[in-house]
Amino acid sequence: MGSPEFSWKLADHPRLPKGKTVVVVVLDGLGDANPDQYNCIHVADTLAMDSLKKKGIDAQIASGGGQMYVTMDRYENDCGIVKREWDAQVLGEAPYKFRSALEAIKKLREDPKANDQHLPPFAIVEDGKAVGPTVNGDAVVTFNFRADRMAMIAKALECENFDEFDWVLYPKIRYAGMLRYDGELKLPSHCLVSPPNIERTSGEYLVHNGIKTFACSEAVKFGHVTFFRNGNWSGYRDPSMEEARDAILSGKFHQVCINLANGDMIGHTVDISRLPLWHVRQLMKLLRTIMP
């Protein structure tokens, strides 16, 4: 239901032809270990868009960036990530501007240190103007199903009291997520798939059986030992490996759950040949801390 003063009818976009569909791409890097291949973005920028156009839908990628630098701030760890996404997706402003997403990826990957997850935000422009800024009356859908990666941008898009950064402007949009990203805040209020009712989780089982649990992870992964185990409900975090060791040695807990990132997945390259040795050394250091 919409408010009386705001119609559900979508107004024509001031810069785009009527019926224009724009897409924001957020790059993970998974499956794109070879920097010479652009299969994922090629399919999105050409084949997928062309298939929509054949059905009479005017579609185009409008902006993008790497997931760990643009959009996906996990658990309010760095709101600057969301701000960069807001500027590119909503305002159409980004430090890099290109004529197509494929051109953007090729150019940004020319930096020897570049990887998909950390690519800077970019906007697609025509005649110097962004092809798809978000304006009043637009419909916005986020397709990611991972709650930890989408909760913060969902807050920014839906909560008018969100004050972590300066919006510059706040368009009145119709927003929906693939799923409900926060069960406690019921965010977003509209989702494409009904929220799952996750019952009898491992966390509930342990609590009802009087089993004391200590959960610990790095700051941006605390949801892996709380949120995911509790049926999409938030929990507490403690990133200190020293405290994890103390918890183990104290004998106060029946279970100690610790999350460490897999060495072969750091950077999401899925390419063992490119795995820097320091990743493994760092993991060994952490393991020695909690298991002296």
Break the chain into its structural domains and give their ranges: 20-177, 202-290
pLDDT in tens, 64-85: 998 888 888 776 778 899 999 9
pLDDT (tens digit, 9 = 90+) per residue, 163-201? 888 889 899 999 999 888 887 788 899 999 887 777 777
Q: State mean pLDDT over 10-29.
A: 53
- Assess if CATH 3.40.920.10 describes domain 20-177: no
The tens digit of pLDDT for each residue in 197-234 reads 777 777 777 777 777 888 777 666 767 777 777 776 66
Mean local confidence (pLDDT), 150-167: 88
pTM of full prediction above 0.85: no
- Burial per residue of 89-123, b for 16 or more beta-carbon CB atoms within 10 angstroms, e otherwise: bbbbbbeebbeebbebbeebbeeeebbbbbbbbbb
